[in-house]
Structure 1
């Protein structure tokens, strides 16, 4: 540790820290444009000038100045203020000063610093330079005349996103930041450069000229468009959600957010279900809640319990899933399932279906084996964390499955389960990498578990983890990477077939007479028996609603208070930012109402009562997040040798449309057209 004094305050920081980091640790603000704590140091803007005693009598850039023992720093001397004013004057020489029409207005670093260090007049009479507006795709809007060449966007795409698409061309004041050859950005994390840009050069194209920051009502919540559960902030005006931004959570998403989670927000107001519907004579008609409840109650009362079934979808909250489970339990029906894809795996222990290493724990691993997964599409922020670990050095990754374009080098071991056998018997060279690793980890894609041999593959992956010393009291290297936000919570609730109960596949093709779909749109609705009475409860008119006999309008994740469990088993709560549209209601309240209508009223009337019941019935929902140890090596029930020879296939056809919200989003459709033109043409 190094001790130094900043503005009379003694600070102790680790050796190798910079002056600006020491000032941040002391709570002293130093202005900056190019410096960012998660990016490499560039030293471009020179706004972070400080005065350091016993050094040459000139301001020093604090972002690139390492601390030393006994150093004395002044951050607000006359020399410093004069230097920062000069830097600000140079920055504003060519800036267009179009704050009234700039989307960054109100949350712009340049505006904030200009208040302290800017002049109210200019000494320059020359013409300002102008730069063209390159097209970087449907998500990022460019106004490069405003660019101050901080290179944050360049460093992010190169270092964090792993797609070195941006850079500087020309020299001096003619320097331009761009893609060299004009094209759309290909990273699934490209929206983060909007947050990083300290001026209005990069803004959100879908959000352009929509609102000012002070008009928005800000609500903390949790992202549900993948299973990572990133911390987000939902910004709304009136009854409409206008944008979604990431929040800081070092344990989950740091401060990044995937493009789908950020930009699919316009799908929340399209194809919405805002009233109950009944199907009569093959056609749907609008109905009242009383009519819908009466129809459902009459149908349920006249149906044997063993022919009632319920399937929950990928975006459901724990409260609604618990209510539906207890409702069907009261009806004595064992036919429950949360696996729309038919995944067959052992859920008897949490360790069998969690990302046990934890997301932050990725940074401790020194070897990685990916089985049948593409983290770049299934969890792009987690993929960035893996890349971060690779950049730190001493890390080797191997892949079994389709060779996607990951953002770090991987050794392709094979296309299917045969590669797992080669690793198990030690005949593949990568086995030596796993054997030598001190903290090896295995990522098993949840899509693999949907294969007919899913249970066997789960057992085979667990066996590899045990064989290569990845299951220890101090390290748990077995991980399942889920892509459905509701899956882990549903497994924790035991939303699975009971004794003699039917799975999703068995409930289709006429397996049940009454089928309740709670936000379940990712199954083959054409496989549902023609005589099956389908109740669809959800918020978008997607596949499930198209097949339904009764439609009950629910609330999207931005419109309700809900509890979600991410892929590592972390219980998190989201909060309602707006009210549901029209007559739509929160899902648990709909189930509570119909339970009373049928004569099996659930034992809670408020959300607080429901959550207390949830915690009492399933204590994991009331416990603080803890990292599981791997000292219990007892394996899942599958037979590791019963795997097939079929190659692993990707779980998503494209990254941008994987759920009802993103499929309803025009912005996501534009991304498909830009990045998957063949798929877009086929859809048309």
Structure 2
């Protein structure tokens, strides 16, 4: 630690801290435009000037000056204020006076700091500079005349997103920020450019001119479009979600948010189920809740317990899955499954199906092997963490990859091969990368769903565990065995035991005629082509897709923005979201409708409201009693080498279209436009 005196206040800061960080630690506010906590230092704007006693320079940019022992810093003096006023005057020379129509108005750093350091008039009389707007795709709108050349956007694409799609052309007063090609930004994190831009040069294109920041009400929530569990802020006006922003959480998403979670919000308003429906004479007709619930209860009474089953989808909250599982079990059925992709999991202990290293733990790893996963599309925010570790200057971070690479992973990988036989070679020490893993102190292995949804999934899983044992990836201090999920509901479903036990039917058996009544809880990714026509389908969800069109009864549900729900991310972190708006029409929270059916069937569930349900959930599995925490699982029985033969087919990632992976994003016009642009361009490039 280094001792520094800021405006007479002695403080201690880390040895590698900057003067700006020391000033903030002392409670002093330093204006800045180019500096960002998560980006490299540029020192462009010169707004953060301070005085340092004994320095040869009268003023020093605090963001780029490292602290020294005994350093005395002055953050406010007439000289400093004059310098900041001059800097602000230069920044405003060419800036357009369009605050009344700028989407950044009300939350603009330039606007805020101009209040403190701006002049009431301009001394500039020459012709103002204008810059042509640049095309950055369907998500980011540009007004480049507002740009102050802070280069935050360039540094973000280079360092965080890893796509290096922006740069500067020309020099001096002619400098322009521009994408290298006019095909839009290809990063799955491009929406964060809007957040890092301190002015209105980069704003949201889908919501341009729709609202003002002071009109919005904020509600904390969790992103359910992937399994990272990104902390988000739902911003609402009336009964409509107008904007979704990331909340800072350094243990999960830092301060980033993937594009699908940010921009698919228009899908919350389209194709919605807002009233109950019953199929009569082969046609769905509107019905009341009383009639619909009674119809469901009457049907369940006529079916034997072994001929009824339930499937939970990828967007379900833990409360609704527990209520449905409990109802099925009370009726004598264990035919429940939350694995729409029929993935293989060993649920004998939690460490076998979670991301044990934790997302923040990636920063401590010193070698990585990825098997059957493509994190850039399955978990973009987590992928940025891998890139951050790869960019670290402290030591090298070798990354091995087994499987087909559909795109640039945004960091350098050593592609070992495309088939799972390489796992056996690594165990036997016949491949050079096995020595890298063995010599690493904290090796990581990521096993993706491209591996555990295959016919040989069990063999791959057990061989990967054997590899972890061989290379020392699991010790008393470190657990490097990880399953990377891409479904927000999957880990909670496994924690609650929403999988078939013993002789119970799995999803494949149920959709192939194994049940007479099938309850589909938001299960929109299931292929129902083999489902017999006589099977009675109860669909409960919020969007009308193929599963809803096959239903005999539709129970309209609430989307994640319309209910308070519990979600468990890929690392096993239990998090909770809150309702920001009301469900449309007559839609209800899923657990409440399930509870009502149970009442009609005279099934006594041990809860009657959301709080007692959560208390019961914590009794079933204590992990649900500890919110926002990750329970590190180190004592993992890795077992012995599995016996069996690998399939010869290539390991491929499970996501073919990043933008259209769930019912909300498929209903989003913005996401459909992104999909057409991204994959049409990719197809043209391949040709």
User: TM-score normalised by the shorter chain: which range applies?
Assistant: over 0.9
Distance 1:679 1:289 in 2: 47
Residue 679 (structure 1) shift: 9.4
Cα displacement string for residues 10-29 of structure 1 (whole angstroms, at most 9, x for unaligned residues):
11112222100111222211
Match of 1:630 in 2: 634
Alignment correspondent of 2:561: 558
Tell whether 2:397 aligns with 1:395.
yes
Q: Distance in 2 between matches of 1:83 and 1:466?
A: 61
Measure the CA separation in 2 of the matches of 1:428 and 1:546: 51
- Report what 1:330 is aligned to: 330
The answer for unaligned runs of 5 or more in structure 1 is none
Counterpart among 486, 489, 499 of residue 502 in structure 2: 499
Following superposition, the deviation at residue 627 of structure 1 comes to 4.2
Q: Provide Cα deviations, 1:157-204, integer angstroms capped at 9, x if missing partner.
A: 001110111010011111100113322000000110100000000000
CA distance in 2, matches of 1:87, 1:473: 54
CA distance in 2, matches of 1:527, 1:438: 49
Shift of 1:647: 1.2
Q: Give distance in 2, aligned partners of 1:446 and 1:602.
A: 35
Q: How far apart are 1:57 and its partner, in Å?
A: 5.3
Q: CA deviation at 1:58?
A: 2.1
CA distance in 1, matches of 2:506, 2:678: 36
Q: Secondary structure at the match of 1:475?
A: coil
1:680–1:433 CA distance, 2 compared to 1 (3 A): closer
In the alignment, is the contact (CA less than 8 A) between 2:561 and 2:580 conserved in 1? yes
The 3-state SS of whatever aligns with 1:50 is strand
Q: CA deviation at 1:286?
A: 1.1
679 and 315 in structure 1: CA distance in 2 versus 1, 3 angstrom threshold: farther
- In structure 2, C-alpha distance between the alignment counterparts of 1:168 and 1:678, rounded to whole Å: 24
User: Do 1:134 and 1:178's aligned partners in 2 also have CA atoms closer than 8 Å?
Assistant: yes
Q: Is the 8 A contact 2:517 2:537 kept in 1?
A: yes
Q: Does 1:610 align with 2:613?
A: yes
Which of 659, 666, 670 is the equivalent residue of 1:667?
A: 670
Q: Hey, what's the Cα distance between the residues in 2 that align with 1:448 and 1:427? A: 21
CA distance in 1, matches of 2:42, 2:621: 50
Does the CA-based 8 Å contact 2:537-2:552 persist in structure 1? yes
Cα offsets for 1:126-185 (capped at 9, x unmatched): 221111111110000000000000000000000111011101001111110011332200
Asked if 1:537 corresponds to 2:540, the answer is yes
Aligned to 1:523: 526
* Alignment partners' CA distance in 2, 1:448 and 1:360: 24
Report which stretch shifted further, 456-465 or 373-382: 456-465
Cα distance in 1, alignment partners of residues 388 and 502 from structure 2: 45
Kindly indicate whether residue 293 of structure 2 is the aligned counterpart of residue 289 of structure 1.
no
1:678 is displaced (CA, Å) by 7.5
Aligned to 2:87: 87
- Give the TM-score, by structure 2 length: 0.97
- What does the per-residue CA deviation read over 1:306-341, in whole Å, with 9 as the maximum and x for residues that have no partner? 100000000000000000011011100111111111
Mapped to 1, the partners of 2:248 and 2:520 lie a distance apart of 34
Q: What count of residue pairs does the alignment treat as equivalent?
A: 680
Alignment match, 1:575: 578
Within 5 Å, give how 1:21-36 maps onto structure 2: 21-36=21-36
**Separation in 2, partners of 1:115, 1:446:** 52
CA RMSD of aligned residues (A): 1.4
**CA 1:182–1:680 in structure 2 vs 1: closer, same or farther (change >3 Å)?**
closer
Instruction: Spell out the pairing of 1:339-378 with structure 2 (5 A cutoff).
Output: 339-378=339-378
Residues 347-402 of structure 1: per-residue CA shift (max 9 Å, x gap): 11100001000000001111100000000000000000000000014210000001
CA contact (8 A) 2:543 2:664 kept: yes
The answer to whether structure 1 residue 423 and structure 2 residue 411 are counterparts is: no
CA distance in 2, matches of 1:623, 1:45: 44
Q: For the residues of structure 2 that align with 1:433 and 1:633, how far apart are their CA atoms?
A: 23
Measure how far apart 1:419 and its partner are: 1.2
Distance 1:39 1:18 in 2: 13
Q: How far 1:606 moved relative to its partner?
A: 1.2
Could you say what secondary structure the match of 1:676 adopts?
A: helix
Q: Which residue of 437, 440, 456 corresponds with 2:443? A: 440
Residues 93-132 of structure 1 correspond to what in structure 2 (within 5 A)?
93-132=93-132
Residue range with higher mean Cα deviation, 51-60 or 402-411: 51-60
Aligned partner of 1:9 in structure 2 is 9
Q: Does 1:188 align with 2:188?
A: yes
Checking the alignment, whether the CA contact within 8 Å between 1:400 and 1:413 is kept in structure 2 is yes
